[in-house]
Amino acid sequence: MLIRPEQPADHDRVADIHRRAFGRHGEDVVAPLLVDLRRSLATEQGLSLVACEDDEVVGHVLFTRSLLDAPPRLVEVQVLSPIAVHPDHQRRGVGAALIEHGVAELDDLGVPAVFLEGDPAYYRRRGFVAAGELGFRRPSLRIPDVAFQVRLLRAHEPWMTGTLVYRQTFWDHDAVGLRDS
């Protein structure tokens, strides 16, 4: 498996993977969210990575800049969202490889923390822990405490706690937390 930066030629395939992995939510929320989040990568730190098997894109992860409102000052952090693996390639380590590759790259760049909303059983195996237990506050009450997670990197310092502030793009697409059905 090869992990590399996403290229413009990958965009349609990546959108299709998110649609297949997330169904209606992938079509209605994730695909348009991706378009807008990619724009931020032109001017801000972040990563959009794809996993390829036999020259075919089979997975995608996006890390984008957000802010941590720490008591002394704002701190630039990253948010892992979204991530998807084509259903035919799930449960083969593709998602784990994308996460590890991206987190290692961000760690080398001096990013202090990576946040996400997700299944604690899955992400705990990837080094993420419940963010609230470390003094972090979620950006919305719609995010269940157990789903709000963080992975601290080498540049993290003990004073770096506080509230995660999502970039406006997530709010514009109503892609924060859970909505009542």
Tokens at 97, concatenated: 């490889």
Residue 181 has pLDDT above 60, yes or no: no
The predicted pLDDT at position 130 comes to 97
The predicted pLDDT at position 72 comes to 96
Number of neighbouring beta carbons within 10 Å of residue 99: 24
DSSP state at residue 44? S
The predicted pLDDT at position 17 comes to 93
Which run of H or of E encompasses 21? helix 11-25
The predicted pLDDT at position 168 comes to 83
| The CATH number, out of the four listed (3.40.630.30, 3.30.465.10, 2.30.110.10, 3.20.20.70), of the domain defined by the range 2-172 | 3.40.630.30
One-letter amino acid for residue 171 of the chain: W
Which run of H or of E encompasses 149? strand 148-152
- The mean per-residue pLDDT over the stretch 112-141 comes to 95
What are the structural domain ranges in the chain? 2-172
* Long-range Cβ contacts of 40-45 (<8 Å, 24+ apart): 40/64, 40/65, 40/167, 40/169, 45/76, 45/78, 45/109, 45/111
- The mean per-residue pLDDT over the stretch 110-124 comes to 95
Assess contact for 143 and 117: CB atoms under 8 A.
yes
Query: What rounded mean pLDDT belongs to the chain?
Result: 91
- CA distance between the termini of the chain: 38
Confidence label for 97 from pLDDT (cuts 50, 70 and 90) = very high
Confidence label for 180 from pLDDT (cuts 50, 70 and 90) = low
Which residues lie below 8 Å from residue 175, measured CB to CB, with a gap of 6+? 29, 30, 33, 81
Q: Which residue has the higher pLDDT, 13 or 173?
A: 13
Residue 129 has pLDDT above 90, yes or no: yes
User: Tens digit of pLDDT for each residue in 12-66?
Assistant: 999 999 988 887 776 677 888 888 888 877 767 889 999 999 999 999 999 999 9
Confidence label for 179 from pLDDT (cuts 50, 70 and 90) = low
